[in-house]
Structure 1
């Protein structure tokens, strides 16, 4: 991988960089202080064209047609972009999602908010079959008896219905309980989290499927009925996985890559102290037989390089590289850098390219790295928005695939 450019954080958005969504020639990069719009016309050196100040971490971000959605998981005094921090023990405190009209990408308009139980750490979009409605599956966790709007056990997600032509009419329509048995109870000895809701969900609407990374459990859901998702397979790794963080399907929905964010992104798990199975990806095959669909474990993948004890390093956010006939993924590993790996053989994944900025350059490393129209773009926690070129021997065929929109947690099929 070749590092081509960096657009430093600036202005009012100096907090932590988070997720990215893409549409047309624009990238929408989240930041705990708001979001930035980059023009990708010069793909190797994007230009910042809009900066929106709207504090409320993490500001997880998605786009669909003229709709942009932001997640707020930090308790605020109200739902405005002028809000201040407020303790979650206060009933008046607000957390949830904010909906924007981006029919003009250069002038985003904030049109609606929807408060959700325990806030919105992340969200995932699932359009209806006719595309007139988009649903936001809102993931949140960490309930407490002291929080009026986040009571335990909180084994549910929130579903917000957003009319695409009238996003100001967005409303909460369901709060399905995904874990009626309570889910995994956790294990303090190995830093393994209790299941209390989900951390992240990835939808694949072509197949009416969603994969949930739910802290202590991994799940596969049938989402034919968008307002009534149904768990059809549930897996648990009580030996190696500590925090089921995110999920990525392969292109034909026969595999899921789950990530384990052991230590919540703050641990240096890429050292000799931690085994290759810890803080890694878990690759699962989707087995279909006689009307049933099950997740079957295939292997683990972790970057093969050792980092220093001063570098936080663990599996984090990534996306597919659209090469037909192969399962390739580019992925962030905080200060472990960026890794491209091939999991076509799900039992034998292997790294094919990587970039490591080195110790001490970034205070937190790269949060999310996604492939979009020939290049990999990354949002760094500390130092801004990066652009990478991947060797043509790896992604040459992918460069011919033109994507009109990319939300990595709302997968769309590609033709290589």
Structure 2
């Protein structure tokens, strides 16, 4: 467990200030602009394809040219509202998650209230949007697939034959008021997308992961799933608990083990495997990402990472917690969020977003004793009120760290440190979606 620093209030950063370790360097920032400039237009997740980064936003998505990461530039912005617009790419296809009640599936749809949607019965839409990105600078919207309770996040699982890709849809918060989001919703939706005919994409199964209703009452569906297709495994962060699944048959995932932490984990948010699949790191999104939880009052074990060893039989055993050891202001939302491995040979090193807690690089090779190697942290957006902001996702791609900041836009950073130097040699395949883990 990492000791939590408790600096005097004068040591907490002020708006406009930056604090970082000597090995972390901000190379460029591309601010939000145009239709995404408003405070309410939140930047969300990231995916990568060759020389392009695809960045989700509650109002659509942005394509960045990252051929020269030090001089990354915005190439395209597409307006297509629907929170969270969680984003992935696979071959010539891009997928966006919509977890908000839309009047229809188009990019011109309007947001409906729960009462308005329930009054129309099934006269609303939420789910997955499928785009053709064979020309990344001319994306074409080709298909929508409606899913129960929408799609808060999703995860891609390619089939071994290379004919289809499966989309594991995570959603939660069922309500009896909505026809397509009925309780108990202890399931995920699986969409099959034929690669030669994506317009035929459809829900093919809805496996129930929690037939007993979950280990604790708030479990209902999942928030996020990370797949490791090469190992035939997936790890799900499912609100009230963490699960490990066998996905050798991707249409029929089988739960191998489940764990809960009623003392310290409030909301199981996401998961990451280490490279050999012997460790799973789960995150706790205490406060739903909107709270100031990086302070001595909350402490070092809540809103943190939890590391579990994973046996060959698929059994999870708790090892430790990690939370960034820097106090954040009371106007900064700060909690564990999305990250990915840095491909360092022989080590388990990860870069991770912490909202307004910034970006942290952690070595968890010894899962019982994780150690922070570097960090980058901005001061609060305001010292008068909490403005939702900070790094939503921080991922390592071909030698650089890319962070999609909710308010500040795209950051490109570099870590220069002999402890991770050989990570520069690790290259991913043409596509990189952090929730579909490759080996290195």
Give me the TM-score of the superposition, normalised by structure 1: 0.95
CA distances 1:290-343 after superposition (whole Å, capped 9, x unpaired): xx3201111001001111222111000000000010000000001100000000
**TM-fit CA distance, 1:360:** 2.3
| Whole-angstrom distance in 2 between the partners of 1:46 and 1:131 | 32
Of the three residues 81, 102, 107, the one matched with 1:55 is 81
SS of 1:113 mapped into structure 2: strand
**TM-fit CA distance, 1:363:** 4.6
Question: Are positions 1:108 and 2:139 aligned together?
Answer: yes
| Whole-angstrom distance in 2 between the partners of 1:203 and 1:172 | 18
| Whole-angstrom distance in 1 between the partners of 2:295 and 2:110 | 39
**TM-fit CA distance, 1:61:** 0.2
Where does residue 329 of structure 1 map in the other structure? 350
Where does residue 297 of structure 1 map in the other structure? 318
Q: Are the counterparts in 2 of residues 68 and 101 from structure 1 also a CA contact under 8 Å?
A: yes
Q: Are the counterparts in 2 of residues 87 and 93 from structure 1 also a CA contact under 8 Å?
A: no
CA distances 1:176-216 after superposition (whole Å, capped 9, x unpaired): 10000001334xxxxxxx00100000000001100000000
Where does residue 125 of structure 1 map in the other structure? 156
The answer for unaligned runs of 5 or more in structure 2 is: 1-23
| Whole-angstrom distance in 2 between the partners of 1:165 and 1:353 | 44
Where does residue 360 of structure 1 map in the other structure? 381
**TM-fit CA distance, 1:232:** 0.6
Question: Are positions 1:39 and 2:65 aligned together?
Answer: yes
**TM-fit CA distance, 1:169:** 1.1
Question: Are positions 1:308 and 2:329 aligned together?
Answer: yes
Where does residue 339 of structure 1 map in the other structure? 360
Of the three residues 253, 262, 282, the one matched with 1:229 is 253
Q: Are the counterparts in 2 of residues 123 and 137 from structure 1 also a CA contact under 8 Å?
A: yes
| Whole-angstrom distance in 2 between the partners of 1:100 and 1:165 | 13
CA distances 1:152-175 after superposition (whole Å, capped 9, x unpaired): 000000000001121111111001
Where does residue 165 of structure 1 map in the other structure? 196
Where does residue 372 of structure 1 map in the other structure? 397
Of the three residues 185, 206, 210, the one matched with 1:179 is 210
Q: Are the counterparts in 1 of residues 223 and 239 from structure 2 also a CA contact under 8 Å?
A: yes
Question: Are positions 1:81 and 2:107 aligned together?
Answer: yes
| Whole-angstrom distance in 1 between the partners of 2:216 and 2:417 | 46
Where does residue 5 of structure 1 map in the other structure? 28
Where does residue 245 of structure 1 map in the other structure? 269
Q: Are the counterparts in 2 of residues 98 and 110 from structure 1 also a CA contact under 8 Å?
A: yes
Which is worse superposed, 32-41 or 361-370?
361-370
**TM-fit CA distance, 1:259:** 0.3
**TM-fit CA distance, 1:359:** 2.1
Higher relative contact order (CA 8 A, sep 6+): 2
| Whole-angstrom distance in 2 between the partners of 1:390 and 1:60 | 26
| Whole-angstrom distance in 2 between the partners of 1:300 and 1:154 | 30
Of the three residues 180, 191, 194, the one matched with 1:149 is 180
SS of 1:12 mapped into structure 2: helix
Where does residue 434 of structure 2 map in the other structure? 408
Where does residue 189 of structure 1 map in the other structure? none
Q: Are the counterparts in 1 of residues 191 and 201 from structure 2 also a CA contact under 8 Å?
A: yes
Hey, which bits of structure 1, 4+ residues long, moved more than 6 A? none
Q: Are the counterparts in 1 of residues 289 and 333 from structure 2 also a CA contact under 8 Å?
A: yes
**TM-fit CA distance, 1:13:** 2.4
Where does residue 45 of structure 2 map in the other structure? 19
Where does residue 269 of structure 1 map in the other structure? 293
SS of 1:44 mapped into structure 2: helix
Pairs aligned (count): 404
Where does residue 416 of structure 2 map in the other structure? 391
SS of 2:28 mapped into structure 1: strand
